[in-house]
């Protein structure tokens, strides 16, 4: 249904005619395929999120406020997104107005002394990192990669990534924030709210991060965040990455205070012990089980392709027959990548010695083929910039994660073989890429003081082939069943099932209530229900801000 003419005109008056459209074809470029990544509820073949009623490109906080107030006046739902990585940024219901925050893309400040940056929604990890490096600082980049909005990861999701270990998760890094509440009122969170600047997310000033973010972030369902400050951390490297190499095999050779290693272990227990020791010792700039996303059996062959610009996926089968590739593949079954960065030469020397001692204690080894200069330089650039996350989709065009269990290193290593075995059985049926079952990947180390890991088992498939999509969904259903049977809980393959259903629209209330009531802590959602009622009286957001009303039982 089109917006009433007077509403469309009023919106146009706010943003200008060049920043609004309700052309059907243009609106269709703001629909997300449910056969794609980060849906975490399907996948569903040839199914899309609903077409919006209009798309707007606001250029200022004032414009956002005016839009939201108008939406309240006319009871029109709105959904804001900055960089559109996931289905969570798209409308869940018909007749929703899509706000594309792209025009608000300025880095407003980098406070070198106090180590934070103030950014608008459209600022991505790559640009903030590039600017921060000029003054000896760096930003954490969420696992979705440097193409994604820094603000979105901090205000609206949890922002986990390879540099959790040193840089912290982005939701932890959120400082002051400017929040256009669902009513259109402006709220300044933390020290910003008391006129003391951006430096703190809690105070002096209103401590509202928990309210505004809700459980794992409000995901665009509770107003619009228009500015935020984000913690930065030390960058002991050059002002700009000296990138070399022929596309796509870019690499970076950094000064001698950097090391990028791939290491592997004889058992999962040894792997987990090493993760704990890294955390306890306090070494490491980032640590990630990264390239296993291609699959235990394919990862080294893929590295060979990606580091050689003359090679393509068409070379994969031949590479897999290469005995050297097979040897390295076997040697790096239980692996991860780690970057050491010394603030001084002495610091690096100490970290190196500590890391060698950790490997000695856990009987781990450095995978030498991965540590050859060209490959290590490629890996270093990959991990620091995280600018190749679209390799998630390299095989058939789509991927999604299953399992994705958050917990200690032991927790992940306990289920990795069993989840990999389940996946391997489904791989053999042909619906998903045959990669060796174990395609688990994720960061090592994080909040909580125990080397927290978040591992998802990547599943790659073809969104254009119905059998592939439906076979993947069957695998994901089996993964959920196994997770429940083992007491691991529901994996990330169903994380969004309580918010959005198979038709791309909001999950019916009865189903949402059922899911929330069966959660370990339903009261979280009851509390959020109260918050939502108070802050969003006209209910203008979707179900990604998860609620459970008092009557549900």
Partner 1 sequence: MPLEDFAAEMDRCSQCSYCKWIPFDQVRSWRFAKNCPSVSYYNFNSYSARGRYAVARSLIRGQSGYSDTVRDIVFTCMTCGSCDVSCKVCRYNLEPLEMVRELKFRLVEDGQGLEAHRAIIQSLDREQNTMQRPRSGRGDWADGLDVRRLASEKGKVLFHAGCRLSYDEDLQQSARAAVDLFRKAGVDVGIMGEQEMCCGGRIYAMGYREEFARFARANMAAWARAGVETIVTSCADGYHAFKRLYPQLGSGVQVLHTVEFLARLIQEKKIVFRLEVPMTVTYHDPCHLGRQGEPYVPWDGVEKKIKGQIVVYEPERPRYNGAWGVYDPPREILRSIPGVELVEMERIREYSWCCGAGGGVREAYPEYSQWTAGERISEAIATGAEALVTACPWCERNFQDAAGTMGEPMQVYDLVELVQKAV
* Residues 340-399 within binding reach of partner 1 (CB under 8 A): 381, 385-398
| Near partner 1 by CB under 8 A: residue from 178, 456, 462, 542 | 462
> Which residue number, 315 or 347, has a Cβ lying nearer to partner 1?
315
State in angstroms the smallest separation of the CB of 43 from partner 1: 11
Q: Note the helical H segments in 21-149.
A: 24-28, 61-74, 125-133
Compare residues 238 and 255 and give the one whose CB is closer to partner 1. Answer: 238
Q: Which one, of 138, 140, 139, 177, lies nearest residue 155 by Cα? A: 177
The strand pair at 224-231 and 174-180 is best described as: antiparallel
**Which residues, numbered 167-226, are part of the site for partner 1 (CB under 8 A)?**
none
- Cβ closest to partner 1, residue 222 vs residue 325: 325
Give the nearest distance from C-beta 517 to partner 1 in angstroms. Answer: 34
Query: Would you say 252 and 343 are in contact if contact means Cβ atoms under 8 Å apart?
Result: no
Which x/- pattern, by CB under 8 A, does the window 475-514 give for partner 1? ----------------------------------------
Q: Which of 60, 72, 114, 127 binds partner 1 (CB under 8 A)?
A: 127
Closest by CA to 402, choosing from 150, 4, 37, 144, is 37
Single out the residue of 44, 85, 116, 544 in contact with partner 1 (rule: CB under 8 A): 85
Contacts for 117 with CB less than 8 Å, ≥ 6 apart: 107, 109, 110, 111, 128, 131, 132, 139, 150, 229, 230, 232
Nearest to 254, CA basis, from 163, 373, 135, 368: 373
From the list 10, 107, 186, 354, which residue makes contact with partner 1 (rule: CB under 8 A)?
107
Judged by CB under 8 A, the stretch of 100-108, 167-175, 203-211, 491-499 that binds partner 1 is 100-108
**Sites for partner 1 among residues 31-60 (CB under 8 A):** 31-33, 35-37, 46, 55, 57
Number of residues this chain uses to bind partner 1 (CB under 8 A)? 82
- Of 371 and 434, nearer to partner 1 (C-beta) is 434
Check: CB of residue 58 under 8 Å from CB of residue 104: yes
List, in sequence order, every residue forming a beta bridge with 233; answer none if it has no partner.
138
Nearer to partner 1, 397 or 522 (CB): 397
Between CA 125 and CA 414 the distance in angstroms is 33
CA torsion angle for 420, 426, 431, 436 (degrees, to 10)? 40
Q: Which residue has the tokens 């459970």?
A: 548
Residue 258 Ramachandran class (φ > 0 left, ψ -120 to 50 alpha, else beta): beta
CB of 317 to partner 1, least distance (A): 6
Q: Among residues 385 and 516, whose Cβ is nearest to partner 1?
A: 385
CB crowding 128-147: b at 16 or more within 10 Å, else e = bbbbbbeeebbbbbbbbbbb
Q: Which is nearer to partner 1, 476 or 525 (CB)?
A: 476
Task: Name the token pair of 306.
Answer: 């990606």
* Residues of this chain, 64-83, that bind partner 1 according to CB under 8 A: 83
- Tell me which residue has tokens 């939201």: 68
Nearer to partner 1, 32 or 279 (CB): 32
Question: Going by DSSP bridges, is the β-strand pair 224-231/116-119 parallel, antiparallel, or unpaired?
Answer: antiparallel
Q: Least separation, in Å, of the C-beta of 105 and partner 1? A: 8
Shortest approach of partner 1 to residue 253 CB, angstroms? 13
Our CB check for partner 1 shows the closer of 128 and 260 to be 128
Q: Which is nearer to partner 1, 318 or 511 (CB)?
A: 318
- Residues 138-177: x where in contact with partner 1 by CB under 8 A, - otherwise, as a string: -------xxx------------------------------
Q: Which two tokens stand for residue 450?
A: 């125990």
Burial of 155 (0-12, 13-18, 19+ CB in 10 A): buried
Q: Considering only residues 102, 269, 366, 505, which one is a binding residue for partner 1 as defined by CB under 8 A?
A: 102
C-alpha gyration radius of the chain? 23
Question: How far is it, in rounded angstroms, from Cα 36 to Cα 469?
Answer: 9
Give the span between the Cα atoms of 505 and 501, in whole angstroms: 6
What are the DSSP calls for 331-364, one per residue? HTSSEEEEEEE-SSHHHHHHHHHHHHHHHHHHT-
Q: Which is nearer to partner 1, 226 or 452 (CB)?
A: 226
Among 1, 6, 312, 323, indicate the residue that binds partner 1 (CB under 8 A): 312
Enumerate residues 233-272 that contact partner 1 by CB under 8 A: 240-241, 243, 246-248, 250, 252
Q: What's the closest the beta carbon of residue 129 comes to partner 1, in angstroms?
A: 8
How is residue 38 annotated by DSSP? Answer: T
**What minimum distance in Å lies between the beta carbon of 124 and partner 1?**
8
| Region 403-442 residues binding partner 1, contact defined as CB under 8 A | 427, 430-435
Q: Assess 116 for contact with partner 1 (CB under 8 A).
A: no
Task: Rule CB under 8 A: choose which of 463, 483, 491, 504 binds partner 1.
Answer: 463
Nearer to partner 1 (CB atom), residue 394 or residue 552: 394
Binding-site member from 100, 273, 493, 546 for partner 1 (CB under 8 A): 100
């Amino acid at each position: 249904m089109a917006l009433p003419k007077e509403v469309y005109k009023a919106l146009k008056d706010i943003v200008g005619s060049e920043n609004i459209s309700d052309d059907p074809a243009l609106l269709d470029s703001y629909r997300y395929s449910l056969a794609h990544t980060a849906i975490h509820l399907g996948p569903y073949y040839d199914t899309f999120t609903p077409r919006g009623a209009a798309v707007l490109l606001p250029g200022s906080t004032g414009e956002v406020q005016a839009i939201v107030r108008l939406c309240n006046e006319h009871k029109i739902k709105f959904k804001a997104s900055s960089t559109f990585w996931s289905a969570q940024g798209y409308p869940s219901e018909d007749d929703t107005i899509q706000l594309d925050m792209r025009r608000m893309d300025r880095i407003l400040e980098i406070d070198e002394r106090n180590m934070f940056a103030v950014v608008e929604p459209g600022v991505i990890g790559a640009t903030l990192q590039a600017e921060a490096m000029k003054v000896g600082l760096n930003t954490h980049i969420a696992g979705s990669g440097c193409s994604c909005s820094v603000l979105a990861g901090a205000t609206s999701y949890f922002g986990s990534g390879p540099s959790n270990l040193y840089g912290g998760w982005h939701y932890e890094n959120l400082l002051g924030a400017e929040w256009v509440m669902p009513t259109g009122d402006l709220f300044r969170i933390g020290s910003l709210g008391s006129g003391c600047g951006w430096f703190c997310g809690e105070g002096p000033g209103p401590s509202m991060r928990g309210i505004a973010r809700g459980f794992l972030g409000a995901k665009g369902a509770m107003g619009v965040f228009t500015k935020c400050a984000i913690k930065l951390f030390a960058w002991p490297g050059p002002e700009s990455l000296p990138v070399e190499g022929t596309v796509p095999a870019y690499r970076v050779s950094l000064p001698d205070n950097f090391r990028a290693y791939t290491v592997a272990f004889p058992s999962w227990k040894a792997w987990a012990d090493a993760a704990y020791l890294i955390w306890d010792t306090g070494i490491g700039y980032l640590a990630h089980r990264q390239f296993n996303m291609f699959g235990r059996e394919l990862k080294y062959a893929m590295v060979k392709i990606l580091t050689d610009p003359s090679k393509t996926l068409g070379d994969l089968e031949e590479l897999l027959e290469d005995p050297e590739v097979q040897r390295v593949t076997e040697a790096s079954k239980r692996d991860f990548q780690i970057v050491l960065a010394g603030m001084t030469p002495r610091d690096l020397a100490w970290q190196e010695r500590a890391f060698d001692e950790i490997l000695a204690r856990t009987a781990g080894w450095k995978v030498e083929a991965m540590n050859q200069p060209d490959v290590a330089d490629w890996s270093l650039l990959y991990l620091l910039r995280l600018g190749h996350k679209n390799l998630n989709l390299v095989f058939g065009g789509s991927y999604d994660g299953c399992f994705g269990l958050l917990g200690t290193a032991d927790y992940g290593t306990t289920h990795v073989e069993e989840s990999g075995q389940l996946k391997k059985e489904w791989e053999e049926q042909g619906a998903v890429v045959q990669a060796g079952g174990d395609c688990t990947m994720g960061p090592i180390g994080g909040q909580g003081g125990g080397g927290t890991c978040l591992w998802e088992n990547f599943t790659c498939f073809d969104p254009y082939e119905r059998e592939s999509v439906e076979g993947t969904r069957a695998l994901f259903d089996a993964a959920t069943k196994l997770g429940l049977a083992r007491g691991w809980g529901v994996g990330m393959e169903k994380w969004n099932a309580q918010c959005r259903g198979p038709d791309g629209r909001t999950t019916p209330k009865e189903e949402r209530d059922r899911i929330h009531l069966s959660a370990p802590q339903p009261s979280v959602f009851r509390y959020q229900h109260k918050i939502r009622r108070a802050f969003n009286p006209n209910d203008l957001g979707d179900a990604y801000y998860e609620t459970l009303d008092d009557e549900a039982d």
